[in-house]
Amino acid sequence: MRLRPVARDGHGFALPTRRQLAVVGGYAAAAALYIVIGVLVTDFLLSVFVAIVYLLVVAWLVPAAVRRVR
C-alpha cells in the first residue's frame, strides 16, 4: 500500500509532499542553528523580533541571494 498526501483544506492530518518536506528541512536546519546559538547565548532567545529578523535572513534573504547568484 502506498500512502499519498490528501489535501483537506488545513483540517485533519495529511502527509506532506516531497517539496513540502524539503521546505520543512530548510526550516529545521534554520531552527537547529537558532537553538545552538540560543543555548550558547540565551539573550538570543528572548525576543520574538530577533527571531523574526533571523528567520527572514536565513529562510528568505539568503536563499533569494543564492538563487540570484545562480
Partner 1 sequence: MSWAAHDLEPYAIQRHTRWKIAFVPLLFGSYSPDMMTKWFVYGIHLGPWELKAHDPAKFHRGWPGFGFTHSLLYGVVICLIFWKLLGSKSWGIAFLVGQWAHALTDTGDTVGTMLLFPWTFHFHVDAWAYAGQTGRMTDAAAYFSGLGGMWDAVWIVYGVFSWRVLTRSYFEEHVYTADGFWPKVNRFVPTSALLVFYRAAFFYGTSRWIAWTVWAHVIHHYPYDLSWGGPHWVHAAHP
Q: What residues between 3 and 32 interact with partner 1 by CB under 8 A?
A: 8-11, 13-14, 16, 20, 24, 27, 30-31
Contact positions with partner 1 (CB under 8 A) in 30-49: 30-31, 34-35, 38-39, 42, 45-46, 48
Q: At what angle do helices 18-40 and 48-56 cross, to 10 degrees?
A: 130
Contact between 66 and partner 1 by CB under 8 A: the answer reads: no
Question: What is the biggest distance separating any 2 CA atoms in the chain, rounded to whole angstroms?
Answer: 49
Amino acid at 30: A
- Give which of 32, 37, 60 is closest to 47, Cα–Cα: 37
- Region for 10 from its dihedrals, namely left if φ exceeds 0, alpha if ψ lies in -120 to 50, beta otherwise: left
Minimum CB separation of residue 60 from partner 1 in Å reads: 5
Q: Which residues bind partner 1 (CB under 8 A)?
A: 8-11, 13-14, 16, 20, 24, 27, 30-31, 34-35, 38-39, 42, 45-46, 48, 51-52, 55-56, 59-60, 64
